[in-house]
Amino acid sequence: MLTDIMQVLVLGSVEGAVYMLIAVGYSLVYGTGGIMNLAHGAFYLIAGYMLYWYLGTLGLFTSVVLALIIVTLIGGISYLALIKPLEKKSQLSVVMVTFAIAFFIEQIVKLGCSILGFEKESTLPNLIEIKGTVSFELFGTIIPYDYVFILIISFLIVSLITLFISKSKLGTSIRAISQDREAATLMGINADRVLMFTVMISAFLAGVAAVIYVPSYPIAPWQGWVILTNSFAVVILGGMGSLPGSVLGAFILSYASHFTRVFIDPAISTLVPMFVIVVMLALRPQGILGKKEID
Q: How many residues does the chain have?
A: 295
Is it the case that residue 88 has pLDDT exceeding 80?
Answer: no
Cβ–Cβ contacts within 10 Å for residue 178, how many?
Answer: 23
For residue 158, the model assigns a pLDDT of 94
**Domains, the chain:** 2-123+143-283 (1.10.3470)
Contact 229, 53 (CB under 8 A): no
Q: What percent of the chain has pLDDT over 90?
A: 52
Largest CA distance in the chain: 60
Contact 94, 74 (CB under 8 A): no
Q: What percent of the chain has pLDDT over 70?
A: 96
The span from the CA of 23 to the CA of 18, in Å, is: 9
What is the value of pTM for the model shown? 0.91
List, as one string, the DSSP characters of 218-278: -B-TTHHHHHHHHHHHHHHHH-TT-HHHHHHHHHHHHHHHHHHHHHT-HHHHTTHHHHHHH
pLDDT band of residue 14 (cuts 50, 70, 90) is very high
The span from the CA of 24 to the CA of 27, in Å, is: 5
Question: Of 35-44, 136-145, 148-157, 268-277, which range is least confident?
Answer: 136-145
Average of per-residue pLDDT across 115-124: 83
The span from the CA of 254 to the CA of 147, in Å, is: 15
Is it the case that residue 228 has pLDDT exceeding 60?
Answer: yes
The span from the CA of 19 to the CA of 234, in Å, is: 8
Average pLDDT, the chain: 88
Alpha-carbon torsion 295, 68, 9, 139, what sign? negative
List, as one string, the DSSP characters of 9-33: HHHHHHHHHHHHHHHHHHHHHHHHH
172: Cβ–Cβ under 8 A, 6 or more apart, which residues? none
pLDDT band of residue 294 (cuts 50, 70, 90) is very low
Backbone angles phi, psi at 240, to 5 degrees: -55, 125
